[in-house]
């Protein structure tokens, strides 16, 4: 009996989108207001999907208390109230776009969860914009 | 033209997580606050996804009035304002976890809908915790 | 500069509505499905409104970390995953209706917050039903 | 690195469900209140999912400003504050059901986005009813 | 012990904003897209606030089943899936703006609820636009 | 006929809480993670309430298109994608707390709306934390 459970989490952070290999003009043309050198910020909403087999004895795929603790320790504590560009080594050479952020969260969670599970993350940068990794189709 | 329609429903129930084959200590260690012998409860939110071919004459995959009536009669009336452990035969020998609950709702709906449809259910136990059956990946 | 801050919290509990001074028939007639002797349950959403003067040095009416800790210790830990009728002394002789529950939460919080603050609570029993104490008009 | 981004949009419109090849009685029996000859209406919520490869230089799958402009120009301006039956050529010979509407939005967006992208749309007619094209399974 | 309870409801309708005493040009200038002669529509969300004294025996201000039945019979059945301009006598000589609609819903509910209660309604025409009657300040 | 209309808006910004008259230790003790020298950020949600008399000819208290344009020009363009501490003169000598931010938004909107209107603003810094000015009680 293969099933998926999902768990939501929340944190906030500052960032800017700026590629040092682009000129000032190209950065402004591509990233617009997101290029502001003084940073802007977001409340990020995260939904983590974990798929696998249910344990018959507990009725659990995974204890959601365990999953939420892993999300708290590995994701919320790492990113909450941080400046993604300045405070977070994962974004040293990576653009802190929603797409890359979803990919990095997926990689971190994969390292801390049973490899038999399939993991997918959906990360909302605003209530209207989100990224999902891996792709849904 | 294969498409999916979804319909949301809502009900509430009491339950506890307790495996009679476990010791008191093991039940408390695994299920924590969810093991409270006097029960606790939830507002459950349900989204039912039905996939199949659209009828060209009506523009409908399925009349959503029909689908919502089936959900009301088969799911809401069976589970709403109930104690899952004491009042619901489906959970006589099955842990009333969100995972098992999603599986049971899927089985009941499958028995009352056209077998040509593919059905998936997402059941939220809280706004942050949900189970999806069948698995999304 | 008088202002209001609000903070949301979440917990869940089981309860039933039953007045021991009513007959079985009267209890069923008045409380309907909410009278189920085996209990049912809800995810409760709480919004706490605190009104008063802003501290010019901090820009805070009250440190929301302090407010959320008081809500966690005094409300969530007291009521979360509990059976209101059996586990909670506050409801020993009081019907656990949303109205009375909002009143009790208001009383508890008032005992733990600066008496110079005006407090109002809105408690949702379901996404559609809520009680507000004190009354808005 | 294949990923999905999603963007939400919102518009409102009037419509009725009525098949001119059906009798008056059959139209009423099948479409019920939705057959009202004077029309009724909805706030439609739309989530557009675009899947493909991330551009390493920008960190973007697609500039969400570009995506939201295409949605605004091609979907919102075409359908917002319109009567789907009377004002919209796309529904001249097609029932304006949520299913067909999702299909048409998918077709329009596909014509305006890079063909290397895979597109999926979820269209809510009410907070409880939605259609997804292509089907999720 | 004076308290407020609130109950949410939902319905949808078509309407247009058009004052027959205005010229065509003035109607278009003032009402813009809302003046479309073929109508447009909305999902309306309604929150009804009822204030008064709690009944000590039941713990209720008002049985919310009774309140929701009154809302269903007097508001939802009157307005749901209707064209406000053509199907609803209340709007014969009244502009179907959100403001006037909230006022009319308040008047109808006041006629069907105990006059000892104070009633307030909040009506959302879209998730971003609402009217509240009586005014909050 | 005195009524209230409300309109929601959305923007995002970076900020930090830091009082230059406090020591480093006191800033950290009072503001915690919000004191991060590299800034963090939020998606702010704003609800603006305007109270007054309805115009009988239009059915409007205020044209919501006019209100939303004022909010867009005076609030969103001033604060969206900005660093409140560095980019916004209004916060030069004022702590960018939610309380002060709500007060400043209220003052700006009051300068651009008819003085016969009463204005109230609710500003969410996160889905759980908000400030309301003027106070609700």
F30 touches chain A (CB under 8 A): no
d(CA D89, CA A73): 54
For the question of residue A40 being annotated catalytic, the response is: no
| C100 band by pLDDT with thresholds 50, 70 and 90 | very high
At residue F95, the pLDDT reads 97
Q: Token pair 């009804």 is at which residue?
A: E48
C interface test, pick of B14, B15, B42, B88 with most C CB neighbours within 10 Å: B14
- Residues with Cβ within 8 Å of C35's Cβ and at least 6 positions away in sequence, in order, are C16, C17, C18, C27, C28
At residue E88, the pLDDT reads 97
User: Measured between CA atoms, how close is D45 to chain B, in angstroms?
Assistant: 14
Mean pLDDT for all residues in chain F: 97
Q: Token pair 């959906």 is at which residue?
A: A122
d(CA C2, CA F99): 10
**Is the separation of the CB atoms in F48 and F119 below 8 Å?**
yes
H/E segment holding residue E25: helix E24-31
| D77 band by pLDDT with thresholds 50, 70 and 90 | very high
Distances (CA, A) of D30 to A27, B57, B59, C53, E81: 56, 11, 11, 60, 15
Using DSSP, state whether A116 is helix, strand or coil. Answer: coil
User: Measured between CA atoms, how close is C9 to chain B, in angstroms?
Assistant: 12
What sign results for the dihedral spanned by CA atoms C96, C97, C103, C109? positive
| Cis amide linkage into residue C134, ω under 30° from 0 | yes
* Six token digits for residue B57: 């004459």
CB atoms F6 and E132 under 8 Å:
yes
Mean per-residue pLDDT, B113-125: 98
d(CA E132, CA F8): 14
D58 touches chain A (CB under 8 A): yes
Angle at D75 between CA D72 and CA D79, to 5 degrees: 115
CB atoms F8 and E127 under 8 Å:
yes
Mean per-residue pLDDT, A86-91: 97
What sign results for the dihedral spanned by CA atoms D58, D62, D65, D66? positive
Share of chain E above pLDDT 90, in %: 99
* Six token digits for residue A6: 């999902």
| B116 band by pLDDT with thresholds 50, 70 and 90 | very high
- Residues with Cβ within 8 Å of C8's Cβ and at least 6 positions away in sequence, in order, are C45, C46, C47, C48, F127, F128, F129
d(CA B67, CA C9): 34
User: Measured between CA atoms, how close is F7 to chain A, in angstroms?
Assistant: 17
**Chain segment E51-109, per-residue pLDDT in tens:** 999 999 999 999 999 999 999 999 999 999 999 999 999 999 999 999 999 999 999 99
**Chain segment A100-125, per-residue pLDDT in tens:** 999 999 999 999 999 999 999 999 99
Choice among F10, F40, F81, F112 that is catalytic:
F81
At residue D12, the pLDDT reads 98
CB atoms B10 and C41 under 8 Å:
no
F103 touches chain C (CB under 8 A): yes
Distances (CA, A) of C98 to C8, C12, C122, D4: 16, 13, 10, 42
Using DSSP, state whether F18 is helix, strand or coil. Answer: coil
At residue C110, the pLDDT reads 98
CB atoms D13 and E81 under 8 Å:
no
At residue C2, the pLDDT reads 96
At residue C32, the pLDDT reads 97
For the question of residue A111 being annotated catalytic, the response is: no
**Chain segment E105-125, per-residue pLDDT in tens:** 999 999 999 999 999 999 999
| B85 band by pLDDT with thresholds 50, 70 and 90 | very high
Contact residues on chain F for C8, CB-CB shorter than 8 A: 127-129
D38 touches chain E (CB under 8 A): yes
Q: What is the dihedral of CA C19, C20, C23, C24, to 10 degrees?
A: 80
CB atoms D135 and B118 under 8 Å:
yes
Nearest CA in chain E to D16: E81
H/E segment holding residue C70: helix C64-71
Share of chain E above pLDDT 70, in %: 100
Closest partner residue to D132 (CB to CB) among B6, B9, B68 is B6
Chains touching A (at least 3 CB pairs under 8 A) are B, D, F
At residue C46, the pLDDT reads 98
CA neighbor of B72 nearest in space, from B112, B117, B119, B115: B112
At residue C80, the pLDDT reads 98
At residue C103, the pLDDT reads 98
Phi and psi angles of residue E74, each rounded to the nearest 5 degrees, phi first: -90, -30
Closest partner residue to E81 (CB to CB) among D34, D87, D127 is D34
Using DSSP, state whether A25 is helix, strand or coil. Answer: helix
Share of chain A above pLDDT 70, in %: 100
Contact residues on chain F for C57, CB-CB shorter than 8 A: 19, 21-22
H/E segment holding residue F122: strand F118-126
Mean per-residue pLDDT, A86-92: 97
Chains touching B (at least 3 CB pairs under 8 A) are A, C, D
D110 touches chain A (CB under 8 A): no
Using DSSP, state whether F10 is helix, strand or coil. Answer: strand
**Is the separation of the CB atoms in C15 and C40 below 8 Å?**
yes
| D93 band by pLDDT with thresholds 50, 70 and 90 | very high
Q: How many CB pairs under 8 A join B and C?
A: 81
- Angle between helix E98-112 and helix E64-71 axes, rounded to 10 deg: 130
Contact residues on chain D for E83, CB-CB shorter than 8 A: 14, 36, 38-40
Q: Token pair 């009536």 is at which residue?
A: B69
DSSP string, E88-131: -GGGSSS---HHHHHHHHHHHHHHHS-TTSEEEEEEESSSSEEE
Contact residues on chain F for A10, CB-CB shorter than 8 A: 126-127
**Chain segment B38-73, per-residue pLDDT in tens:** 999 999 999 999 999 999 999 999 999 999 999 999
Choice among A34, A42, A47, A99 that is catalytic:
A34
At residue F128, the pLDDT reads 98
C13 touches chain B (CB under 8 A): yes
d(CA D4, CA A122): 9
Choice among D28, D34, D42, D76 that is catalytic:
D34
C49 touches chain F (CB under 8 A): yes
Mean per-residue pLDDT, E10-20: 98
CB atoms C3 and F135 under 8 Å:
yes
**Chain segment F63-104, per-residue pLDDT in tens:** 999 999 999 999 999 999 999 999 999 999 999 999 999 999
Helices and strands (H, E) in chain A, number of each type: 5, 5
User: Measured between CA atoms, how close is F65 to chain C, in angstroms?
Assistant: 28
User: Measured between CA atoms, how close is B132 to chain A, in angstroms?
Assistant: 5
H/E segment holding residue B103: helix B98-112
d(CA A120, CA A131): 11
**Is the separation of the CB atoms in C99 and C106 below 8 Å?**
no
Choice among A15, A18, A106, A125 that is catalytic:
A125
Closest partner residue to D39 (CB to CB) among E80, E83, E126 is E83
d(CA D53, CA D64): 14
- In chain E, the domains with their CATH numbers are 2-133 (3.30.479.10)
Mean per-residue pLDDT, C99-117: 98
A interface test, pick of B20, B28, B128, B134 with most A CB neighbours within 10 Å: B128
β-pairing verdict for C82-83 and C2-15: parallel
Helices and strands (H, E) in chain F, number of each type: 5, 5
Mean pLDDT for all residues in chain B: 97
CB atoms D103 and B3 under 8 Å:
yes
Contact residues on chain F for A42, CB-CB shorter than 8 A: 12, 41-43
* Six token digits for residue D85: 């039956």
Q: What is the DSSP letter of D6?
A: E
Q: What is the DSSP letter of E8?
A: E
Strand partners, C119: C50
Task: State ipTM.
Answer: 0.96
Contact residues on chain D for E9, CB-CB shorter than 8 A: none
H/E segment holding residue F5: strand F2-15
d(CA C41, CA B43): 7
At residue F55, the pLDDT reads 97
At residue C120, the pLDDT reads 98
Contact residues on chain B for D93, CB-CB shorter than 8 A: none
Closest partner residue to D3 (CB to CB) among A22, A129, A132 is A132
Helices in chain D by DSSP H: which ranges? 24-31, 64-71, 77-79, 84-87, 98-112
**Chain segment A48-87, per-residue pLDDT in tens:** 999 999 999 999 999 999 999 999 999 999 999 999 999 9
Mean pLDDT for all residues in chain A: 97
Helices and strands (H, E) in chain E, number of each type: 5, 5
* Six token digits for residue B31: 């299920």
Question: Do chains C and B touch, with touching meaning 3 or more CB–CB pairs less than 8 Å apart?
Answer: yes
């Amino acid at each position: 009996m293969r099933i998926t459970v999902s768990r939501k989490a929340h944190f906030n952070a500052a960032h800017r989108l700026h590629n040092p290999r682009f000129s000032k003009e190209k950065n402004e043309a591509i990233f617009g207001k997101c290029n502001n050198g003084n940073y802007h910020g977001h409340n990020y909403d995260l939904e983590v999907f974990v798929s696998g087999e249910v344990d018959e004895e507990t009725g659990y795929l995974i204890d959601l208390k365990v999953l939420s603790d892993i999300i708290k320790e590995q994701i919320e504590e790492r990113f909450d109230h941080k400046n993604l560009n300045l405070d977070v080594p994962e974004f040293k050479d990576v653009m802190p776009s929603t797409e890359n952020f979803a990919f990095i969260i997926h990689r971190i969670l994969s390292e801390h969860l049973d490899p038999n599970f399939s993991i997918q993350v959906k990360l909302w940068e605003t209530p209207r914009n989100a990224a999902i990794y891996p792709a849904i189709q």
